[in-house]
Structure 1
Amino acid sequence: MQTHIQPNHKVSNNRPSFQVWWRLMRPHTLTAAFVPVFIGTTLAFLETSIDISLFVTMLIASLLIQAATNMINEYFDYKRGLDTAESVGIGGTIVRDGVKPKIILNLAFCFFGIATLLGVYICMNSNWWVALIGLIGMAVGYLYTGGPLPISSTPFGELASGFFMGLIIIIISFFIQTGSITSTSVLVSIPIMILVGAINMSNNIRDLDGDKKNGRRTLPILLGKEKSIRFLAALFVISYVWMVCLAITGVAPLWTLLVLLSIPKPISAVKGFVGKSEPIQMMPAMKATAQTNTIFGLLLSIGLFISYFI
C-alpha cells in the first residue's frame, strides 16, 4: 500500500522528533488511563494508607497500555487503508511522518512488555489474580483494532473501552491498595466507565461517514448521527445524576458533588457536534468530551480527598 504524505510534512532520513512520538500516543486519550487510577487510589485512601510505589507503578502501566493500544490502532488502521494523510484525529506517524509501520507495532509490543513487568511488581505486592486481569486488558487493547473482527468495527467499542479503561482500572487501583473490592468502589466507578465510553463514542461520531464507507458497524452508524448525539448527551446526564444519587444516599461523600462544576464541558461537547458535518469541525467537541472525563474525574478525586479530612 502506498504511503500518502502531505506536502508540508517532509520525510527525511533523520530520526522522528519527540513531537512525532508524542502524537503517536494520542495524548488526548490518555485521560482514560490516568483518571481511573487517581480515583481508585483516592477511594483506597479513605480506607487505608497508600503505597506510593504501587500507585506510581499502576499509573505508568495504565498509561503504557493505553498508549500501546493507540499505536496498534494506528498500525492496523493503516494496514486496512483507513488512514490517509488527510485523516483527522490520528497520530499520522505513518501516513504523514513516514515512520515504518513495523516500528510502531514493535514499539506497542515493547510498551506492553514494560507494562507486564510493572504488573509483576504489582502482583508481588498484592495478588496474582491482577496479572490475569491485566493480560485480558492488553488482549482487548490489541483486539480493539487487531484480529479478524476488530472490536472498533462493532457496536461494542464504547462498552469495551469504558469497562476496561474505566471500571476495571478503578477497581484494580483500589484493590492493590486495600486487598478488597467494595460496593462503593464499584458504584463510584460507573460514571467514569460511562465517560470513558463517551470518549470513544465522540470519536466514532466524528468518524461516522468514513467508518460507514469502510464497512464498519459502530454504534453511531447503527443509531445515525442525530440519535448518536442524543445518546452521547444521555451518557453525560446519567453520569452526573448517578453521582448526585450516590452523594444524596450517602454512598459517596457530599464533597463528590464537586463534579457538578464540570457540567459546562459536556454541554460544550454536545453543542459542538450539532450541525457539524466535517470531521475537523467536530474535533473541539471530541476534545471537550475527553476534558469532561478529565475534569469530572479530578474533581471527584478532590472531593473524596477533602472528605477524608472533614
Structure 2
Amino acid sequence: MRDAHTIAGEKARPVAWQTWVKTSRPFTLTAAVSPVLVGTALAGYEGTFHLWTFLATLFSCLFLQIGTNYFNEYFDHRYGLDHAGSLGAMTVIFKQEMTAGQVLGGGIFCFVIAALLGIVLIFVVGPEIILFGVAGILIAYFYSAKPFKFSSRGLGDIMVFLAMGVLMTWGSYYVQIQQWSWSAFAASVPVGFLVTSILNMNNVRDYQDDLAVNKKTLPVRFGLKFGQRFHAALLVGSYLATTIFVLVHLLPWTALLVWLTFPLAFINVRSVLYATERLAFIKGIKKTSQLHLIFGVVFAASILLATLIR
C-alpha cells in the first residue's frame, strides 16, 4: 500500500484521451441514463417537464458514475484488490498508462463537476436537493474507500440499488415536480433490480479473483451458484415488480410494454444460469448493461405513451 506522499511523487505524464475514456468504463454508464429517463418520464406523465433541469440531472448522474469508476480503479489498486490481469479493472495503473494520482484526480474532478451541477439544481429546485447529492456522493465514494468499503463487505449490491435505483430515479422525478410519490418509488424498483444485476454479474465474473484477496462480495460469501441464481432473480424480478406495481395502480398500464424486452432477459438468464466458462460471465455483463438501457428506454417511452393516451 502506498501513501499520499508516494502518489504525489510519481512522475505524471500526459494521458491520452482514449485512456481517460477507457478508465471511465463507458459501457457501464448506461446505469446512470436509465433511471434519469424513467424518473423524468414519470414527472412528465404527471404534467411537469423542464429540459434544462433534466440535462443538469443527467450529466450530474453521469459524472458521479464516472467518478465512482475512477475511485474504484484507484482504491482497488491501493488496497491490493486488483492485479495486472484483473478483468474487472482497466489496469491502467499497472500498465503505467496512468499514475495512481491521475486516476484519483480524475475521480475528484468528476465529483466536482457532479457537485457543481447539483448546486445549479439547488438554486433551481431548492435546498432539499442537497440530501440527494450528499447521499449519492457518500455512497459513490465509500463504495470502494475506507472505512466502509461497501463493495468489499458484500454491501455493494444494496448501495447500488439505493444510489442508482431509488435515488437516481426518484431524484430525477423530484427535481421536476418537487413532491414525494409512491409511483416514483415503484418505478425505481425494477430499474434498481437491473442495475444491481450489472454489479452482480461483475462479481460473478470476478469470483475467483475476489476470493483470492478475500473481497467478500455476495458470490464470495454465498458461492458462485448463488451469484448465478441471484442474477436470474434480479432480471425476472424487474418484470414481476413492474407488473405488480401496474396491478396496484402505481404505474400506468402501458408500463407492461417492458415485457417486450423480456426475450433479451430470457436469453441473458439462460446463458448465465448454467455457465461454467468465465467468458460467458464477461459477455453477460455487456448483455445485462444493454438490457438495462433498453428496458429503461422502453419503460420511459411506455410512461410517455400513457401521457399521450390520457
Q: Which residue of 2 aligns with 1:140?
A: 139
**Distance in 2 between the 1:20 and 1:278 partners?**
29
Which amino acid is the alignment partner of residue 300 of structure 1?
F
> What secondary structure, in the 3-state scheme, does the structure 2 residue paired with 1:81 have?
coil
Task: Provide the residue aligned with 1:128 in structure 2.
Answer: 127
- Number of the residue aligned with 1:6: none
Could you tell me how far 1:276 is from its partner in structure 2? 4.1
For residue 30 of structure 1, report the CA deviation from its aligned partner: 0.9
For 2:184 and 2:48, how far apart are their aligned partners in 1? 16
Counterpart for residue 48 of structure 1: 47
Question: Could you say which residue in structure 2 is the equivalent of 1:82?
Answer: 81
Q: Which amino acid aligns with 1:84?
A: H
Q: Secondary structure, in 3 states, of the residue corresponding to 1:85?
A: coil
Tell me the alpha carbon deviations over residues 69-92 of structure 1, each in whole angstroms, 9 at most, x when there is no partner. Answer: 000000011112222332213223
- 1:262 is aligned to 261
Q: Percent identity?
A: 31
Say whether the 8 Å CA contact 1:88–1:279 is kept in structure 2.
Answer: no
Out of 228-237 and 83-92, give the one that drifted further.
83-92
Determine the C-alpha separation between the residues in 1 that align with 2:20 and 2:100.
Answer: 13
Superposed, 1:89-100 pairs within 5 Å as: 89-100=88-99
Query: Match of 1:182?
Result: 181
Counting only pairs closer than 5 Å after superposition, residues 1-310 of structure 1 correspond to structure 2 as: 15-277=14-276, 279-310=278-309
Amino acid at match of 1:162: F
**Separation in structure 2 between the aligned mates of residue 280 and residue 102 of structure 1, nearest angstrom:** 32
CA distance in 2, matches of 1:149, 1:277: 32
- Asked if the contact 2:19/2:97 (under 8 Å) is kept, the reply is no
Coordinate RMSD, CA, aligned: 2.0
Aligned to 1:170, what secondary structure does the other structure show? helix
Distance 2:268 2:250 in 1: 29
Residue type of the alignment partner of 2:154: P
Alpha-carbon distance change, 102 to 280 in structure 1, aligned in 2, over 3 angstroms: farther
SS of aligned partner of 2:93: coil
Alpha-carbon shift at residue 202 of structure 1 (Å): 0.8
1:223 maps to amino acid: F
- SS class of match (1:94): coil
Residues 127-136 or 195-204, more deviating: 127-136
Shift of 1:238: 1.4
Alpha carbons 2:232, 2:273 under 8 Å: kept: no
Task: Name the SS for the 1:88 alignment partner.
Answer: coil
Deviation (angstroms), 1:277: 4.5
Amino acid at match of 1:256: A
User: Offset at 1:309?
Assistant: 0.7
CA distance in 1, matches of 2:105, 2:74: 10
Question: 1:123 offset after TM fit, Å?
Answer: 0.8
Give the TM-score normalised by the residue count of structure 1. 0.91
SS at match of 1:263: helix
Say if 1:34 and 1:63, in contact at 8 Å, map to a contact too: yes
Letter in 2 for 1:152: S
For this pair of structures, how many residues does the alignment match? 301
TM-score (norm 2): 0.91
Structure 1 stretches lacking a partner, 5+ long: 3-12
Tell me if structure 2 keeps the 8 A contact 1:247–1:253. yes
* Deviation of 1:228 (Å): 1.8
Tell me the distance in 1 between the aligned counterparts of 2:126 and 2:148. Answer: 32
Say whether the 8 Å CA contact 2:39–2:187 is kept in structure 1: no
